[in-house]
Amino acid sequence: MEKVHAELYKEALKDPENFPIKDWYLCPICGYTVADEPPERRPVCGAKEEKFSKAA
């Protein structure tokens, strides 16, 4: 998970003005974070989409 976060952070730092991702979704169960559209099921913990909470 931390690897994913690190990559997203690096991407954001490259071009903070035009960082294309606006919506973030965070799984409160496992901490899985996904940009733009949440998948139907969490790849990590298998929870359903409604469990996702939208982050800033």
Binding site for Fe ion (CB under 5 A): 27, 29-30, 32, 42, 44-45, 47
CB of 29 to Fe ion, least distance (A): 4
Q: Which token pair is 2?
A: 């931390």
If the CB atoms of residues 25 and 32 are measured against Fe ion, the closer one turns out to be 32
Beta bridge partners of 24: 35, 55
CB of 17 to Fe ion, least distance (A): 31
If the CB atoms of residues 25 and 42 are measured against Fe ion, the closer one turns out to be 42
**DSSP strands (E only) in 1-56:** 24-26, 33-35, 53-55
